[in-house]
Amino acid sequence: MLKSLNIRVLVIGLLCTSPAYVKTLEYYTEKPSYIESCRINEPDFTNCSTRSIQGFLNAVIEGIPEIEESFGPIDPMKQDQLSFNQENSDIVSISANITDLVISGFGKMVINYFRVSKKDFSWQDHIYIPKMRIDGNYKMLGRVLIIPLHGSGTLFIEIDELNIFMNATTRIYEKGGYTFFSAIAVSVKLYVGRVWTYMDNLFNGHSKDVERSTNEFFNENWREFYEALHPLIVETVERTLFDLLKKMFNLMPANFFVEDIPNSLALYGLKTRLIV
Ligand SMILES: *[C@@H]1O[C@H](CO)[C@@H](O)[C@H](O)[C@H]1NC(C)=O
Ligand SMILES: *[C@@H]1O[C@H](CO)[C@@H](O)[C@H](O)[C@H]1NC(C)=O
Ligand SMILES: *[C@@H]1O[C@H](CO)[C@@H](O)[C@H](O)[C@H]1NC(C)=O
């Protein structure tokens, strides 16, 4: 896909004597056709940026080799491990570790809006995913509602109608004469339509009947159970979006997307200028 485009490989060799001093950066130096250029000082900016980011995202989902190399495929995507502890509520007290995660659904992301702040160029977005699913191996110890849990096995969590409201703190910086976005932090608020779960081997296989009825109970009382899983799902979504956006905007100059973006000197002044 990138073959027809002009990607510059910038080699910064300080002394060029040792490979340790050579850093390779790759990014677009020509705007790909799927990126719509917008101007933040025009009234239709948010509609334009929403279309532009959706276009970029669609290209990434279809497969941009530079992103796939460092991120892997978007859908399904793999993640190593998640740990969580939730001990501060009457409903739930769990310690859980999930490994070998496979996350599906991000390939169907719909950007409902992508706002960029004129003041600090941070982002506020609404993303919709029709169905997100997490598969993994879990180890869990604790209690949900009145049920003691102690087991390890496979689990899935499936979420219908996932609405993600995301705030991202960003910094802008220059490289090779272009201005780039760097995502610094991402926080999300989630709204879900319905959540389905199944945990296999919930009581270390001691009773298949109790395992089945407990899983049924969690699905009948899914709102409460979702509350218990909430920190884990938030972390999964935040981590995924953070990594993805970081990779995307490392590759694409912000100028292609926001034509009238200031450079970091104009935005931050001399003292706080970010040097990369
Ligand atoms: C943005 O798009 C929405 C929906 O298509 C439309 O209602 C709205 O007027 C547009 N905003 C501007 C500033 O053009
Ligand atoms: C999860 O991992 C942490 C750190 O490795 C460990 O302290 C904790 O006991 C584990 N929890 C379970 C339920 O295995
Ligand atoms: C994003 O920031 C706005 C304004 O500060 C705030 O109202 C909103 O709750 C924040 N949303 C998230 C997901 O953190």
Which ligand places an atom closest to the C-alpha of 150? 2
What residue numbers bound the domain in which 212 lies? 33-268
Identify whether 23 is part of a domain.
no
Identify whether 93 is part of a domain.
yes
Give the span between the Cα atoms of 216 and 176, in whole angstroms.
57
> Which of 70-84, 107-121, 153-167, 188-202 comes out lowest in average pLDDT?
70-84
- The mean per-residue pLDDT over the stretch 174-192 comes to 95
Average pLDDT, the chain: 86
Q: What is the residue with the minimal CA distance to atom 9 of ligand 2? A: 95
Identify whether 13 is part of a domain.
no
Q: What is the residue with the minimal CA distance to atom 3 of ligand 3? A: 167
Confidence (pLDDT) at 28: 92
Contacts of 97 (CB under 8 A, 6+ apart): 81, 82, 83, 138, 139, 140
Which ligand places an atom closest to the C-alpha of 49? 1
Better pLDDT: 258 or 274: 258
Q: What is the residue with the minimal CA distance to atom 3 of ligand 1? A: 47
Å from CA of 51 to ligand 1 middle: 12
CB count in 10 Å sphere of residue 207:
12
- Number of folded domains that form the chain: 1
Identify whether 22 is part of a domain.
no
Identify whether 189 is part of a domain.
yes
Identify whether 273 is part of a domain.
no
- The mean per-residue pLDDT over the stretch 200-216 comes to 90
Write the CATH number for 203: 3.15.10.30
